[in-house]
Amino acid sequence: MTNQNIFQERRKRFLDLLGGNAAIIPAANMVTHHADCDFAFRQDSDFWYLTGFDEPDAVALFLPYRPEGEQYVLFVLPKEPSIEVWNGFRWGVEGALNTFAVDIAHSLDQFSQLLGPYLEGAEGISFRIGRHLKIETIVLNTWAEKLDIAPRKGSAPYALIPPCLFLHNLRLRKDSWEVQRMREAARITSKAHELARHITRPGMREKEVQAAIENYFLQNGARGAAYGSIVASGDNACILHYTSNNSVMKDGDLLLIDAGCSLDDYYNGDVTRTFPINGRFTSEQRALYDIVLSAQKTAIENVVAGNDTENVHLSAVRVLIEGLIELALLKGSVDEILETGSYTHLYMHRTGHWLGLDVHDVGAYRLGDYQVSLEPGMILTVEPGIYISDRLSIPEGQPVIDERWKGIGIRIEDDVLVTNSSPDVLSDEALKSAKEMER
Ligand code: CA
Question: What is the 258 CA–ligand 1 centroid distance (Å)?
Answer: 5
Mean pLDDT value across residues 94-119: 97
In one-letter notation, the amino acid at residue 117 is P
- 168 in catalytic set: no
Rounded Cα distance between 330 and 353, Å, is: 26
Nearest to 47 by CA among 36, 62, 32, 37: 62
In the reported structure, the alpha carbon of residue 232 is separated from the centroid of ligand 1 by a whole-number distance in angstroms of 13
Q: Which one of the listed residues 34, 36, 68, 369 is annotated catalytic?
A: 36
131 assigned to active site: no
Query: Is residue 173 annotated as a catalytic residue, yes or no?
Result: no
Q: What are 107-120's pLDDT values in tens digits?
A: 999 999 999 999 99
Q: What is the DSSP letter of 85?
A: H
Average pLDDT over residues 174-185: 97
How many Cα atoms sit within 13 Å of 275 on the Cβ side?
27
The DSSP string of 221-279 is: T--EESS--EEEEGGGGGSTT-----SBPPTT-EEEEEE-EE-TT--B--EEEEEETTS
CA angle 215, 354, 367 (to 5 degrees): 160
Q: Give the separation between CA 245 and CA 236, rounded to whole angstroms.
A: 9
Q: Which of 353, 361, 414, 415 is catalytic?
A: 353
Instruction: Quick: pLDDT tens for 305-352.
Output: 999 999 999 999 999 999 999 999 999 999 999 999 999 999 999 999
Domains, the chain, in order of start with CATH, read 4-170 (3.40.350.10), 173-437 (3.90.230.10)
Judge whether 49 counts as a catalytic residue: no
In whole angstroms, what is the distance from residue 425 CA to residue 241 CA? 24
Query: Phi, psi at residue 185, to the nearest 5°?
Result: -60, -40
The strand pair at 424-425 and 414-417 is best described as antiparallel
pTM to 2 decimals? 0.96
CB contact at 8 A, 288 and 408: yes
3 pLDDT band, cuts 50/70/90, is confident
